[in-house]
Amino acid sequence: MPETGQASSGSSIRRSSTSSRRKPKKNQIPLGMLVVVLMVVVGLVQANREPMLGFYWMMGGVFGFILQKSRFCFTASMRDPCITGSTSVTRAVLIAFAITTIMFTAIKFGYASMGLPVPGMSYVTPISFATAAGGILFGIGMVIAGGCASGTLMRVGEGFFMQILSLFFFVVGSLVGAAHFGWWKEKFIIHGPSVFLPDVFGWVGAVVLQLLIIACLYKAAALWEEKKMGGSED
């Protein structure tokens, strides 16, 4: 947030009345330091009990920090193209997908080339109309709630009160979903084909194909913004 703090000094827009009331802001840095120290202490205690717990704790904190500072929002990436035509967040998400494609393939290929079982294969799940139906439901929900899972958590952390409500029903929904998941899986999900791209196209082919598709989407997103907003500036 480069604008905070000194934003009012170099004002070029002249305002008449409403700019005068200004409360002195509390310095949050000491409190922030305290939170960092507490997080490190909790992380160390956790790591002592179970090494992975400390790792999860650290990843969670880092993830949240990056998410908050970057304003990375999966909801906005799908929503903004429709309401304003802006696709800057959409393109950011596509870049993130491209990077993860390369990194995860590297990890999986590393294991496969050593003859070890490839990690994360339990996430290669069948695709069917259930995938699309679930996606649409999730999409509707996240636009109404003002954030996807990670976005809601991040904004609760920021102190945005309304989304504590979202978080509550997010938990309720997840519990109900988890309780019924077996039925859905047995009746619908399991019947779809599951595709692991490297099995079909080979490792290089899969990465190239996926990156090509992402590049096409990126180009489409850029063109969309140009069409809707009349030329993008970045």
Q: Which is nearer to other proteins, 203 or 224 (CB)?
A: 224
Which residues sit at the interface with other proteins, rule CB under 8 A?
1, 3-5, 7-8, 11-19, 21-23, 25-26, 28, 68, 71, 73, 75-76, 79-80, 83-84, 86, 88, 143, 145-147, 155, 158-163, 229, 232-233
Instruction: Output the smallest distance, CB 66 to other proteins, in A.
Output: 14
Query: What is the spatial distance between Cα 78 and Cα 11, in angstroms, rounded to a whole number?
Result: 34
Minimal distance in Å, beta carbon 219 to other proteins?
Answer: 19
User: Rounded to the nearest 5 degrees, what angle is found at the Cα of 106, between the Cα atoms of 103 and 107?
Assistant: 90
- State how far the Cα of 149 lies from the Cα of 60, in Å rounded to an integer: 13
Place of tokens 């079909």: 200
* Integer-rounded Cα radius of gyration of the chain: 22
**Whether 121 contacts 45, CB under 8 Å:** no
Q: Which is closer to other proteins, CB of 76 or CB of 221?
A: 76
Cβ atoms of residues 116 and 110 within 8 Å: no
Query: Please, what is the angle between helix 51-70 and helix 149-158, to 10°?
Result: 80
Give least dist CB 133 to other proteins, A: 24
Please identify, using beta-carbon distances, which residue of 94 and 130 lies nearer to other proteins: 94
User: What span, in angstroms and rounded, lies between the C-alpha atoms of 162 and 179?
Assistant: 27
- Whose Cβ is closer to other proteins: residue 49's or residue 69's? 69
Q: How long is the chain? A: 234
Instruction: Write the burial class of residue 211 (CB in 10 Å: 0-12 exposed, 13-18 middle, 19+ buried).
Output: middle
Q: Which is nearer to other proteins, 145 or 153 (CB)?
A: 145
Q: How far is the CB of 162 from other proteins (least distance, A)?
A: 6
Q: Which is nearer to other proteins, 157 or 205 (CB)?
A: 157
User: Residue 192 corresponds to which tokens in the numbers above?
Assistant: 């779809």
C-beta of 1 vs 179, nearer to other proteins: 1
Determine the number of helices (DSSP H) and then strands (DSSP E) in the chain: 8, 0
**Rounded least distance, CB 4 to other proteins, Å:** 5
CB of 227 closer than 8 Å to CB of 84: no
Closest approach of Cβ 30 to other proteins, in Å? 14
Shortest Cβ 199–other proteins spacing (Å): 39
